[in-house]
Amino acid sequence: MSFVWTIAEQYEGRLRGVSFELLSRGRALADELGTKLASVVIGHGVTEESLTELIHRGADEVYSIQDPRLADFVSESYSRILADLVETYQPAIILAAATSSGRTLMPYVAIKVNTGLTADCTELAIEEGTGNLLQTRPAIGGNIMATIKTPDHRPQMSTVRPKSSRPLPADSTRVGKIVEVPVEDRYIDERVRVLGYRTDEEDFANIEEADVVIAGGKGMKKADNFSMLRKIADHFDGVVGASRDAVDRGWIGYPHQIGLSGKTISPRLYIGAGISGSIQHLAGIKTSETIVSINNDPDASIHKVADFGIVGDLFEVLPELQRRLNELPREAQ
Ligand SMILES: Cc1cc2nc3c(=O)[nH]c(=O)nc-3n(C[C@H](O)[C@H](O)[C@H](O)COP(=O)(O)OP(=O)(O)OC[C@H]3O[C@@H](n4cnc5c(N)ncnc54)[C@H](O)[C@@H]3O)c2cc1C
């Protein structure tokens, strides 16, 4: 029986939330196909309790591959392991997160196992009759949704946007199997050694995983004004995003860019200030749960996609928003 697989992500031994989101996607597909769902965990220091949580949240089996040499994500080593596992177990479908590591790892694996890969899917379904995976993602600047199939090769591989699904509630009565996969020396690429991480905000802007993104565009006028956005983002434990125009002007770093040539985000709340709403920018925010636009042009395109459109001068609206947030008790923010 060919299983559906999800690739869990860990950092310093802790599973990332996206690992559980993927399981809810995988569970639906496995049920539809009448097969089992397995989750693959590569890393170091992931506890038995965390591995069991994967079972509680939908997995039937967990393949755990752990070694101190795998503590850091190294695509060369991780892809060797995955390619080997694919050869051994022949899964039908592999889902990974469309995060920096998922986006790096999956193309490596797809090449090694000679199959296709659809990046950044927002919808997944099973085609009636054939059982093929239907992989849907925005295309042509977000103007159309394209559905892609991999009919002739296996496994069918997709990366799935973080925050595009919710984890299943943990069910402690679910039982499953944890398989410890031995680590072979040939898996480890000794040429690559992680010396450390840069953790300054510019390079580590995790806007893809943030629940709240406050973005600024050309209407912000200058770099200093982005501090207004940062203060509001801090209220929500959110992060600051930007249009390409703001990034091109050097007001904020590229990791903050949202859109076609930047990042795709799916926060619970997106606020765009001084952003016109070009097709390319909208491509990156379409799956946001709630969109708020602040723009003094009533005809700005961003107002058309917004759940709440504020027509006004951002230099009046943002301070007022900040003032109201300051008045709220912390737990209500
Ligand atoms: C191949 C390609 C890829 C691209 N990729 C991206 C991408 O990934 N992301 C992206 O964002 N763009 C991208 N672009 C660029 C895109 O086409 C737009 O040029 C860009 O999004 C415009 O940025 P903006 O909204 O900040 O600026 P503008 O379009 O100039 O809009 C500024 C807005 O601010 C408003 N404003 C001005 N002053 C105030 C004020 N005081 N108060 C309130 N509102 C005010 C104005 O009314 C205006 O609507 C791409 C373009 C191409 C061709």
Q: Is the pLDDT of residue 226 over 70?
A: yes
- Considering the domain boundaries, does residue 192 fall inside one? no
Structural domain ending residue among the three candidates 128, 157, 187: 187
Indicate the Cα dihedral angle 220, 221, 223, 226, nearest 10°: -20
Q: Any idea what the CATH number is for the domain that residue 243 is in?
A: 3.40.50.1220
Tell me the CA–centroid distance for residue 294 and ligand 1, in Å.
Answer: 13
Nearest protein CA to atom 22 of ligand 1, as residue = 245
Nearest protein CA to atom 28 of ligand 1, as residue = 276
Number of domains composing the chain: 2
At residue 32, the pLDDT reads 97
- Considering the domain boundaries, does residue 110 fall inside one? yes
- pLDDT > 90: percent of the chain: 79
- Considering the domain boundaries, does residue 196 fall inside one? no
* Residues forming beta bridges with residue 135, ordered by sequence position: 124, 148
What integer is the mean pLDDT of 18-45? 97
- Considering the domain boundaries, does residue 118 fall inside one? yes
Domain that holds residue 252: 201-332
Q: Is the pLDDT of residue 83 over 90?
A: yes
Kindly report the average pLDDT of the chain as a whole number. Answer: 93
Structural domain ending residue among the three candidates 159, 187, 215: 187
Distance CA 122, CA 287 (A): 8
If one compares 234 and 188, the residue with the highest pLDDT of the two is 188
Ligand 1 contacts CB of residue 280 (under 6 A): yes
Please give the C-alpha separations between residue 302 and each of 118, 125, 202, 276, 283, in angstroms, as whole numbers: 28, 30, 26, 6, 11
Choice from 120, 214, 229, 275 to test ligand 1 binding pocket (greatest atom count within 8 A of CB): 275
What integer is the mean pLDDT of 93-109? 94
Q: Grade residue 193 by pLDDT with cuts at 50, 70 and 90.
A: confident
pLDDT per position as a tens digit, 37-77:
999 999 999 999 999 999 999 999 999 999 999 999 999 99
Same domain for 182 and 260, yes or no, is no
pLDDT per position as a tens digit, 261-316:
888 888 999 999 999 999 999 989 988 999 999 999 999 999 999 999 999 999 99
Same domain for 159 and 284, yes or no, is no
What integer is the mean pLDDT of 123-144? 89
Same domain for 171 and 262, yes or no, is no
